[in-house]
Amino acid sequence: MNERRPLIAGNWKMNGLSKEGTALAQGLANKVREVAELPADAASEVSPLVSVALPCDLLICPPFTLIDRAVAAVVGTPIAVGGQDCHPQASGAHTGDVAPEMLKDLGCGFVIVGHSERRADHLETDATVKAKAEAALRAGLTAIVCVGETEAERDAGQTEAVVTRQVKGSLPSGATPGNFVVAYEPVWAIGTGRTPTPDEAQAVHARIRVELTNLMGSAAQGVRLLYGGSVKPSNAKELMEQPDIDGALVGGASLKVADFWGIVQSYGG
């Protein structure tokens, strides 16, 4: 039984100046308005019926600098906006950091934490990721916690052990299906054009759900598990059809309206 509403999320990473970022958000908003038959000047309140017209939930995570513009561009549509990282604290002397409360204040509903690029570039540990995820929940955001093995770990047959350890170490207390999402992103699949087979990806997702069930009980059945790593319109359907894959976290293909929309259509939209 799968009552989880799929989520397709775009992680723009460190891409986009104001002109192209605004155009991308506007392009997606226009697609949604077309599908949902919304007028271009739809009111800022989103009717629940509009969301129902779409086959899945939609999220874009622009760089911090574009969040304000993205929120303005998607107003009146059910597209949610999120950050790509946050600091564990709500305010203070942390030069260059952004608190989840600040993201919430801008209109964000989500934040990605523990992406492998941050684990590698900023030496984030599972404990850091957990603290950030808990901060996200405190601020009223949904935390998307990323996990995934490196190529060397995969070659050594450690995929499930690594992912299980990361899930256990990064799970925020207070996680529920409404405020917590896991993204499985094998590091070797990110930006490489390589993906696990749908069966391989499903096996890891199923393992993650077992671990979540150990940690949070039957609520784990409602938690959305996204796959990320070289998702494109041409491979999305076979991945998204897997029983424990509840959507995608898309990098490169989220930077073009047509590609991102092609992935959304893997759910028949």
* Nearest by Cα to 249 from 8, 21, 85: 8
Q: Which of 157, 158, 185, 155 is nearest to 170 (CA)?
A: 185
User: x/- site string to ligand 13P, residues 113 to 152, per CB under 6 A?
Assistant: --x-------------------------------------
Residue among 8, 2, 11 nearest 32 (CA): 8
Confirm or reject binding of residue 252 to ligand 13P (CB under 6 A).
Answer: yes
Query: Among residues 143, 228, 260, 266, which is the contact residue for ligand 13P, using CB under 6 A?
Result: 228
Decide whether 33 or 118 has the Cβ nearer to ligand 13P: 118
CA angle 259, 263, 264 (to 5 degrees): 115
HSE, side-chain direction, 13 A CA sphere, residue 18: 3
Stretch of 41-49, 62-70, 95-103, 223-231 lying at the interface with ligand 13P (CB under 6 A): 223-231
Catalytic hit among 101, 185, 205, 211: 185
Residue 77-116 contact track with ligand 13P, rule CB under 6 A, x = bound: --------------------------------------x-
C-beta of 115 vs 119, nearer to ligand 13P: 115
Across the chain, the runs of DSSP E, i.e. the strands, are 7-11, 57-61, 80-83, 110-113, 142-147, 180-184, 224-228, 247-250
Q: How far is the CB of 255 from ligand 13P (least distance, A)?
A: 9
| Of 38 and 261, CB closest to ligand 13P | 261
Structure tokens at 199: 């069966």
Contact 126, 170 (CB under 8 A): yes
Using CB under 6 A, list all residues that contact ligand 13P: 11, 115, 185, 190-191, 228-231, 249-253
